[in-house]
């Protein structure tokens, strides 16, 4: 490992250690916290669906924000260790049909990467297109959503589709995302 890389990992270790000491299951917690602080997309009392939720750090953050008046459901291919007050489901986003409607849908879905860029980028787009279909049917009018996607030429298909569903679409790279990572978040509000 070169010295530049070493320095980079050192800087970002702070989120790993912070997650450990603050009881979050993954450093991703700080990505969602930053997005919520900047865009106010989750509020007390909200009903939230989180897809690609394992091991559950987004769920922990979401539960803190919505409080006891709200409700959070997490779905993943993998089993999620129980979190008090949070409902979890084992399922595949491509055939998951939730019941009812939500105020917010968050996705941190990531495909199993092959190392072949255009395949990984396409897989990331397809996961997000499947989540967007869930948003169309299961988000309340005016609803909000967050999607993680690999930054690429292929992502344009998804951004264009998201713009047809939401009034506002912002791209954001939270500080807790490693600078070497191509992942970014698409923050959407005003579902039509
Ligand atoms: C980066 S992790 C999510 C981390 C999580 N947000 C947290 O904060 O703990 C991405 C997840 O997407 C899940 N995933 C990938 N493809 C999926 C699919 N088709 N349906 C449901 N979950 C999927 C993976 O199993 C993995 O747990």
Ligand 1, atom 25, lies closest to the CA of 77
- Among 88, 96, 52, smallest CA distance to 72 is for 88
Whether pLDDT at 183 is above 80: yes
Whether pLDDT at 190 is above 70: yes
Locate 16 and state its tokens: 């790993």
Q: Which residues contact 46 (CB under 8 A, 6 or more apart)?
A: 65, 66, 70, 102, 103, 104
Distance 177 CA to ligand 1 centre (A): 16
Distance 129 CA to ligand 1 centre (A): 15
Any atom of ligand 1 within 6 Å of the Cβ of 79: no
Q: Give CATH for domain 28-191.
A: 3.40.50.150
- pLDDT tens-digit series, residues 23-54: 999 999 999 999 999 999 999 999 999 999 99
Question: What are the residue numbers of the active site?
Answer: 148
pTM of the model: 0.94
Any atom of ligand 1 within 6 Å of the Cβ of 148: no
């Amino acid at each position: 490992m070169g010295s530049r890389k070493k320095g980079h990992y050192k800087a970002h270790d702070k989120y790993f250690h912070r997650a450990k000491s603050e009881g979050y299951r993954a450093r991703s917690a700080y990505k969602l916290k930053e997005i919520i602080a900047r865009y106010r997309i989750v509020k007390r009392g909200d009903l939230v669906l989180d897809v690609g939720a394992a091991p559950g750090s987004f769920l922990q953050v979401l539960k803190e924000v919505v409080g006891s008046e709200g409700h959070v459901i997490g779905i993943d291919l993998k089993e999620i260790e129980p979190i008090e007050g949070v409902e979890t489901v084992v399922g595949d986003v491509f055939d998951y049909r939730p019941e009812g409607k939500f105020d917010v849908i968050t996705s941190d879905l990531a495909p199993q990467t092959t190392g072949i860029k255009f395949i990984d980028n396409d897989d990331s787009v397809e996961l997000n297109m499947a989540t967007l279909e869930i948003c169309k049917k299961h988000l309340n009018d005016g609803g909000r959503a967050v999607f993680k996607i690999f930054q690429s030429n292929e992502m344009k298909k998804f951004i264009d589709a998201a713009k047809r569903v939401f009034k506002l679409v912002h791209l954001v790279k939270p500080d807790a995302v490693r600078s070497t990572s191509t992942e970014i978040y698409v923050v959407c509000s005003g579902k039509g």
